[in-house]
Structure 1
């Protein structure tokens, strides 16, 4: 998975298209991400001892990885990601966009 927890992504498809957010959790087995501020759903809570009134809770649901792109701060757009090996032999993520030379940390 080329997108990791803590990365900033932009949604490119769906009802939240155009929104930016930080990846809170990655689920590699399902190819999904939980992105802060994206894909909210209102969930009903039954009455219980902890919550005597019941009510609603807003919850972030996972979004498929194909619906987001990694956000590049250099050109303020979503970019594809490739890998590059530096001089020390470490594998780094690099933006694959025309005219952009940006390595993600």
Structure 2
């Protein structure tokens, strides 16, 4: 499916948990029809230590959103 959304475009989330938020597209995943937006849809992953000497940590990851849930505001030049 062809999308009009490109990297660097300003968008608005129109549905879901982040409805009404604005952001900038950082990555387009054409295979899954999803986009990655800066500072939106951030999930927390708890990473366990690999060895006994290591410490576990919390990692924040940006997850993609389906392109049907966003609206294009301005195009990048």
Q: TM class, shorter-chain normalised?
A: 0.7 to 0.9
Q: How many residues align?
A: 73
The TM-score, its normalising length taken from structure 2, stands at 0.85
Deviating beyond 6 angstroms after TM superposition, the runs of 4 or more aligned structure 1 residues are: none
Aligned to 2:59, what secondary structure does the other structure show?
A: strand
Is 2:34 the partner of 1:35? Answer: no
The TM-score, its normalising length taken from structure 1, stands at 0.64
| Higher relative strand content | 1
Q: CA RMSD in A?
A: 1.6
Match of 2:70 in 1: 68
Larger relative contact order (C-alpha < 8 A, sep ≥ 6)?
Answer: 2
Match of 2:13 in 1: 11
Q: Flag structure 2 segments of 5+ consecutive residues without an equivalent.
A: none
- Residues 41-60 of structure 1 correspond to what in structure 2 (within 5 A)? 41-48=43-50, 52-60=54-62
Greater radius of gyration (CA):
1
